Amino acid sequence: MALSIEVVVESWPIAGTFAISRGSKREATVVVVRIGDGRISGRGECVPYPRYGETPEATLAAIAGLTDVAAAGSLDRLALQDLLPPSAARNAVDCALWALEAKRSGQPVHQLAGRSPPVPVTTCYTISLGDPAAMAAAAAAVPGFPLLKLKLGGAGDIERMAAVRAARPEARLVADANEAWTDDLLEPLLAAAAAHGLETIEQPLPDGRDDRLASILHPLPVTADEAAHAADSVDRLVGRYDAVNIKL
């Protein structure tokens, strides 16, 4: 069936500044796609990731480039896997096609996928990278959130973890270093994370320079983030990481 594609870029202001080891931002830029058959449409969205060289403009162009295929009736979720590489663009289109199929069939997506009904889960509330006092204050300001993710940046991380733990002794804590640690920081920072009761550290070392993870003991689980791209990258992670962060 012939389909139409509409794609736009939207920007949403962030309350304050969101910072990680690679920089900070004050707005979230989202690419939104709607795929329709003239009667029903499905919606998907994505956030292009600069770490992988993605931009909103290139992502919009990649999605718009599917217009002729969609109009010819040749766009579906299976064909999409060959039409676009693993990327923000493909994720957004995939979500829109799932939504369209769900509306057409009158079935929720979990039924179409042969999965159990979704149930509520506890997700992380992220504490932006900052000095220890600022991160502790941010953690203390959200007492209703039981699971916090700390953005870390390398030097000073021991103090950051200690400050947040002191501010929220009852909270579950995880952390994401976004590739900011170095080999000499790795073991002392992992030890400090374990001592403060953190449950995992995401991507402590840069992708491609993470061999040392295979030669040391992990006092807490280490999760692959930037090092995990698509399914074909998983084999390389074995022996270095204990878990994988699947980007949605």
pTM: 0.89
Q: Which residue has the tokens 């830029």?
A: 29
* Beta-bridge partner residues of 42: 35
| pLDDT at res. 232 | 85
Q: Show the tokens assigned to 191.
A: 């030890």
pLDDT in tens, 59-92: 999 999 999 999 999 999 999 999 999 999 999 9
Q: Which residue has the tokens 């058959």?
A: 37
| pLDDT at res. 223 | 98
| pLDDT at res. 162 | 98
- How many whole angstroms separate alpha carbon 112 and alpha carbon 217? 42
| pLDDT at res. 16 | 86
pLDDT in tens, 157-197: 999 999 999 999 999 999 999 999 999 999 999 999 999 99
pLDDT of 247 strictly over 80:
no
pLDDT of 248 strictly over 80:
no
- How many whole angstroms separate alpha carbon 237 and alpha carbon 153? 22
pLDDT of 235 strictly over 80:
yes
H-only helix segments in 27-156: 56-64, 67-71, 77-83, 88-105, 109-112, 132-140
Catalytic, 247? Answer yes
pLDDT in tens, 25-52: 999 999 999 999 999 999 999 999 898 8
Catalytic, 25? Answer no
Catalytic residue from among 25, 103, 149, 247: 247
From the CB of residue 159, how many other CB atoms can be counted at a distance below 10 Å? 15
| C-alpha count within 13 angstroms, C-beta hemisphere, residue 41 | 12
